[in-house]
Every structure is written in C-alpha cells, then in structure tokens.
Amino acid sequence: MNQSRSRICGNFLATVASILMAGAAGCASGSGQSNAQVPTNTIAPSASSVRDLGGLTSRSISTGSDASAVNEHSLTGGAAPRSFGDFGDSGQNAAGGTLTMETLGQMLQSIGGNPQLQNNVYIYSIKDSSGLTYPFGISLSQDQKAIYFVVPMFNVDPQGWATQDALLKLLSANSSICPACFGIVDQKLFLLMGIANTNVNQDLLKQAISYVFDTVHKTQPLWSGWMQGGQQGNPAPGGNPPTGGNPPSGGNTGGSNPFQ
Amino acid sequence: MNRTNVSFLAMFVVTVASALLALTMGCSTGSAGGNTAIAPSPVSLPENPRSVAVPAMPAPNASANNARDLANAQPESVLDSKTARDLDLNGGDTQAGQPLTYETLGAALQKLGLTPEDSKPFWELKVKATTDDKCDWTFPIDVSLSQDQSVVWIACMLCPIDKNGSPSAQALIDLLAANNKLATTTFALNPSHTLFLQQPIPNIGITPQVLGSNLKTFFTCLKQSEPLYKSFFGNTTSGQGGGNPFQ
C-alpha cells in the first residue's frame, strides 16, 4: 500500500515536473531543452512497409455520394472476413503465388470494381450500407514482400478531434484489430493492413478485403463522432451520417473539420 | 427510545443530504451537458481470439538504466541485427507444417541460443541494449501464442500511459505515424493501458530461423523507435542508476 502510494506520489511528482519542464521549455525555446528536441517521425520506412501513397492521402472517408463508388459486396462477393492466422498460408491454397503489380492488378480486375492505378496504388471508391463512401487502396511494399490494404480516413487535427484521449483510443483499438491497425500518414489517419505476398489467390484477396471492410465497420463507433467536426459530435454508434459532403481534394488544410 | 429517535433523525438527515447532493449533481450535470461535448463512446471492440493473450499477471515493462534489470538481461548481440528491417514474411517452412505449440515455441527460442523464461502464457526474453543516446535499456520481449494458437506474437511492454499521464497528443500522433513505417510491427495500448510494440507472425510452418529473423526485425524496430517512447519514461540519463518511474 505504501509502495502504491509512493508510486502514485512519484508519478504525481513526475507529472508536475514534466509540466514545469514543458513550461520552461516553452518559455525558453531553442535553449536546448532535451525534451523539446526529441526528434519526431524519425523512423525511416522499411522496404516492407507501406509505400508512398501519393494522391491517396488527399482523399477521405465521407458521407457524400460518389457516382463511381462500388458497393463493398461487389469486391468481396460475400467472402467471410479472414484474419491474420489464415493469411500467408500455402498448404491448402497452393494455387496462388507471389504477386507483382501487374498480376495484382489482373486479379483485382477479375474481382471487379474497376480500380484506378495511381502512383503504384490500385484505388477503389467504396460505398457501404451505412451511407459511407471511402477510398480504398491496395499496393505492394517496395520489396514486394507484403500487400497493403489502406483506407484513408480523415485529417489529423490536434485542434479538433485528435485529442490525447482520442489518440489513446486509437492505440487501444490497435490491440484488437490486428493485423489491421490505425496509423498516420502525412497527417492523415489511415486504417492499414499488410499481409504476406505469398500464395495469394483470388479467394484470399477477397477475404482480406472483407476483413478490412469489416474492421471499418467494427471501429466505426470509435471514429464516426470525429467525422462530424471533432468532439462536439455524437459518436453515433452504427454510423450517424453527418450532413455535408467530402471535398474530394485539397489535402490537409489543418482545419477543424477532419474532412477538409 | 431516545436512541431510536436519534438514529432515525440521523438517517433522515443523511437521506435528505444525499437527496440534495444528488439533486445538485444532477442539476450541475444537466447544465454542463448543455455546453460540454458528449464523450466519445468507449472502445468496446469484440475480443479477438487472435490478439495477444493477456497474462494473468502484468508483464514486466521496459526499463532504462536500471542496474538490477540490466544484470539479469542477455546482451543485445543475441538479437541485434545490422541488416535492414525487412520482414521475413515467407511464412516459414510450410512443408514442415505443424503450427508451434507453447512448448515447441520455447524449444525454438532455445535453439536460437536464447534463454527464455517460462512465464506462461508467454516466453520472456530480457535483452539489454544501449541506444544511440547512450541510454541502457532492458527490454522484456514476450513471445506467445494467441488464444486460438493461430498467431505467434512478439511483444514488448514499454510503459503504462493513459490520459492522466504525461504523453502529449503530438507524442501519440508520432507513435501512430510510426505504425506505417514498421511494416507489420505496430504500437498499441493494452487493456491495462500499457504501451507496447507488437508483431504478429502467422503460426504456420515457423522454423527457428524464421522466428529468429522476425525477432531481429522486431528488436531493430524497438531500438530505432526509442526516440518516440523515451520521453514517456522518467530519468533516462545514462549512468544515473535510476529506473523506470512507472515500475
């Protein structure tokens, strides 16, 4: 108990000290405070990680209509979502192989939905039954060892929805949605999933796509409130379509509306 | 009789006070509700049998410059990799076939020259490493199976963080941004609000070599991302002999 108290006390003192240090650092910017000098985003991407997503980072999930959007089911064909333990297997599905951008494109074309190839990313516009429309990209890592499925969501706005509490919830969700995860690329929140590019056939691809769509739906109660202009909105589990559309371009303007 | 009356009066006073208090709180909640944002719904995702198994006892966290932990850890040479962080996603020897069990997982680790501690449901490796900033870290690296045994998880518990702690929104944004650069290795927060780094491997034909390759990749990610989580720890100045204030 005493130990617990002393820990709490220690944490309290550490917190107070941090606040004081942060204050001091703020007052004396450029004076070499080590805390203020912690480099951010210093990790270089590995060849197996998500490649440059190009123009996809300027697109967002929305409730606006898009005539070119295809229904989720037209891609998955009703395939059951398949999680990580099943990806990368080959024993029973040896008909597949290692995909190149070309063969990946051919496989996606055969699935349907007519993806657009931009900057080495196959891009779909997807609509679901709750009224959401979202961009969906599929690409290979630079070393072609992994296939990535990405859904750009909305801009990260520290002045709006991206509070400490919200970001902690995203990190918490990451422990439940693996192999998918939430990540941030170019100041935009993404849902990502990477699978091994080995023995991938059409069925496996459909099931992987289905898993990503399923994860979008499962996590919707978490982020749907943030779509409506920050924490003022009702999270509306199940998807409460906000009003207004999604400007399809324009990049990160840093405004409070995560759609912009 | 007098005592009964006194008791009754006391109960009455307590009841009235409680009612007044409840009324007051109700009013203030109501008034605040008009101006305050509705809190986002909590994360209540269904349990995933493929997630990292949650141990009955909290797993140890990483520590910085902790002499006792360092003394009990293996040197980083057992895992250090000078190569790139490219994943070994080949899925192992599928002809060899059999998924690892908890026991064969431990045996595979030992075959790699590691000395894992049996902390069922996970095998724990304690590895010490000095990062570029001359900080001496002890990393407890847990290797375990998911509940459904379909995934081998490599994870390192870093430190508890929550909204009452010190990490800024920017620090959390940086962690989420790192998730795109670490391939299938990701930062996450467990139900105990402990920040951890995790890497899943499909439990299909994993040979000791594939396990070792992925352990090295994971360890490299752990070391290279140290600037992102270092600030969550207390005094990490080299040679201070201090520890992790969270422990």
The Cα A255–Cα B7 span in angstroms is 61
| Domain assignment of residue B136, yes or no | yes
| Domain assignment of residue B32, yes or no | no
Question: How many structural domains compose chain B?
Answer: 1
| Domain assignment of residue B16, yes or no | no
| Domain assignment of residue B214, yes or no | yes
Complex ipTM more than 0.85, yes or no: no
Chain A residue numbers touching B163 (CB-CB < 8 A): 164-165, 168
Which 8-state DSSP code applies to residue A85? G
User: What is the per-residue pLDDT for B209?
Assistant: 86
Residue A15, judged by CB atoms within 10 A of its CB (0-12, 13-18, 19+), counts as middle
Distance in Å, alpha carbon of A162 to nearest chain B alpha carbon: 7
Pairing of strands B122-130, B117-119: antiparallel
User: What is the per-residue pLDDT for B170?
Assistant: 92
- Contact in structure between A90 and A200 (CB atoms under 8 Å): no
- Name residue, tokens 């963080």: B161
- Contact in structure between B157 and B142 (CB atoms under 8 Å): yes
| Domain assignment of residue B19, yes or no | no
User: What is the per-residue pLDDT for A210?
Assistant: 92
User: What is the per-residue pLDDT for B55?
Assistant: 54
Q: Is B190 on the interface with A (CB under 8 A)?
A: yes
The CATH code belonging to domain A54-228 is 3.30.1460.10
Residue of A9 and B209 predicted with greater confidence: B209
The Cα B46–Cα B27 span in angstroms is 35
User: What is the per-residue pLDDT for A253?
Assistant: 26
Q: At what angle do helices B102-111 and B208-224 cross, to 10 degrees?
A: 80
Tell which B residues from 39 to 78 touch A, by Cβ distance under 8 Å: 39-48, 50-52
Residue A87, judged by CB atoms within 10 A of its CB (0-12, 13-18, 19+), counts as buried
| Domain assignment of residue B115, yes or no | yes
| Domain assignment of residue B40, yes or no | no
The Cα A61–Cα A98 span in angstroms is 30
> Using CA of residue B184, residue A36, residue A185, residue B162, what is the dihedral sign?
positive
Q: Is A142 on the interface with B (CB under 8 A)?
A: no
pLDDT at B147 over 60: yes
Assign residue B35 a region: left if phi > 0, alpha if psi is -120 to 50, beta otherwise?
Answer: alpha
Q: What is the CATH number of the domain that holds B135?
A: 3.30.1460.10
Q: Is B147 on the interface with A (CB under 8 A)?
A: no
Tokens of A149: 């499925």
Count of CB atoms within 10 A of residue A251's CB? 15
pLDDT at B46 over 70: no
Count of CB atoms within 10 A of residue A188's CB? 21
Count of residues making up chain B? 247
Q: Is A222 on the interface with B (CB under 8 A)?
A: yes
Helix ranges (H only) for A1-82 are: 2-27, 72-76
Dihedral angle at the C-alpha atoms of B114, B120, B126, B127, nearest 10 degrees? 60
User: What is the per-residue pLDDT for A98?
Assistant: 85
Residue of B9 and B74 predicted with greater confidence: B74
Which runs of E-coded beta strand occur in B38-150? 63-64, 74-75, 117-119, 122-130, 136-145
Residues B213-229 have pLDDT tens digits of 889 989 988 998 999 99
Of B86, B169, B203, the CB nearest to A46: B86
User: What is the per-residue pLDDT for A216?
Assistant: 94
* Residues facing B177 on adjacent strands: none
The Cα B5–Cα B2 span in angstroms is 5
| Domain assignment of residue B100, yes or no | yes
Distance in Å, alpha carbon of B150 to nearest chain A alpha carbon: 5
Question: Which of helix, strand or coil describes residue A111?
Answer: helix
Mean pLDDT of B164-180: 87
pLDDT, one tens digit for every residue, chain A (260 residues): 444 444 444 444 433 333 333 333 332 333 333 333 334 446 677 777 777 777 787 888 888 777 777 887 777 777 666 554 444 443 344 445 689 999 999 999 998 888 999 999 999 999 888 888 999 999 999 888 889 999 999 999 988 999 999 999 999 999 889 889 999 988 899 999 988 888 888 888 998 999 999 999 999 999 988 885 433 333 333 333 333 333 322 222 222 222 22
Mean pLDDT of B75-99: 59
Tokens of A127: 């609509």
The Cα A47–Cα B85 span in angstroms is 8
Q: Which residue of B has its CA nearest to A193?
A: B184
3-state secondary structure chain B: CHHHHHHHHHHHHHHHHHHHHHHHHHHHHHHHHHHCCCCCCCCCCCCCCCCCCCCCCCCCCCEECCHHHHHCCEEHHHCCCCCCCCCCCCCCCCCCCCCCCHHHHHHHHHHCCCCCEEECCEEEEEEEEECCCCCEEEEEEEEEECCCCCEEEEEEEEEECCCCCCCCHHHHHHHHHHCCCCCCCEEEECCCCEEEEEEEEECCCCCHHHHHHHHHHHHHHHHHCHHHHHHHCCCCCCCCCCCCCCC
Contacts of A161 (CB under 8 A, 6+ apart): A154, A225, A226, A230, A231, A258
Confidence grade of residue B59 (pLDDT, cut at 50, 70, 90):
confident
Domain containing residue B132? 63-232
- Report CB contact under 8 Å: B234, A39: no
Tokens of A24: 């001091």
- Name residue, tokens 């024993």: A91
List the Cα angle B176/B182/B183 in 5-degree steps. 110
The Cα B81–Cα B62 span in angstroms is 20
Q: At what angle do helices A164-174 and B169-178 cross, to 10 degrees?
A: 30
Distance in Å, alpha carbon of A237 to nearest chain B alpha carbon: 8
